[in-house]
Amino acid sequence: MGRVQFGWHLPSFPVDGSSGPAFVEQIAATLERVESAFDSAWMDDHFIPWAAWQPPETPYLECVSTMAYLAGAFRQIKFASSVFCQSYRNPALLAKTVANLQLLTRGRMIFGIGAGWLAREYAQYNYPFPAPAVRIAQLEETVEIVKALWTQTPATYRGQYYQIDEAYCEPKPDPLPPIVIGGGGEQLTLRVVAKHADWWNLPGGTLESYAHKLEVLRRHCEAVGRDYDTIVKSWNPEAVAVAPTQVEAQRIADASPFKANPIVGTPEQVAAQLQQYVDLGVSYIVVRLLDFPRTEGIELFAQEVMPRLARGV
């Protein structure tokens, strides 16, 4: 097992009633404290709060513009989309956008892409919302167009849903950003992962669910002739509450609206829970700390949890 790396899943909307400007300052204050410890910061790609419990009028940060701004302000850390919705941007434009960000950031982009899922957002912003099988087929064509534009001059592609004709994307991204495909659909999405992804990312879920998805991915890799071990396995625990005592960590978890399978405890307890995923093959962990906008949790995670995982708890 190689070295475990860590990303911060930065929030895309405030949960404390903050205004938009105040929320941006909260993110900046956190990055100032932890950018040297974390490998990357990950940004959701939505236009409205995805959480049903969050009021729709809550300020929300758009992914591309936010990453561009933050990458210019914080130059020690990579930035990743978690994950781009393929439906929201023309595939060729998306390829060009990410290539340009890779140039401007001097190689600090991680390209995450997925099929999209938030139906009410599609409706509000007037995007067609086809069946899952169609969205996943469109996802695969998007990835194929991105790869073509990043490696061919000019690039032509004829798909069922998307086409490009002798298109140029200059300068090419150097180095090529890793392509992260997010999602856990067992019949279609994980097959696209096996065919095209440099990394696979799954948000949340249980240890048992993640282990099962890995076995499904392994079978898809065998079916398409892909070396399973060449895919970086990443995981997003959707809720982490860490504190010096278990009682304080539980208090943080209980006060947070994020309730899905939280990882709660002291640094030693949190590290032990995350180590189980590392033992399955996870080498990249992207965490959402539940005490944000406070920074005590993420600083404690960096100072005491990450070193434990680096040495195998």
Which residue(s) pair with 79 in the sheet? 41, 109
pTM of the shown model: 0.96
Instruction: Look up the CATH architecture of domain 5-310.
Output: Alpha-Beta Barrel (3.20)
Q: What is the reported pLDDT for 1?
A: 42
The pLDDT score that the predictor gives to residue 313 is 61
CA atoms 122, 128, 130, 132: torsion sign: negative
Amino acid 16 reads: D
Q: How far apart are CA 260 and CA 258, in angstroms?
A: 6
> Whole-angstrom Cα distance, residue 221 to residue 217?
6
Angle at 173 between CA 169 and CA 177, to 5 degrees: 125
- d(CA 257, CA 51) in angstroms, rounded, equals 9
Those residues whose C-beta lies under 8 Å from the C-beta of residue 65, and which sit 6 or more positions away, are none
Please give the pLDDT value at position 61: 97
Q: What is the pLDDT of residues 189-240, one digit of tens each?
A: 999 999 999 999 999 999 999 999 999 999 999 999 999 999 999 999 989 9
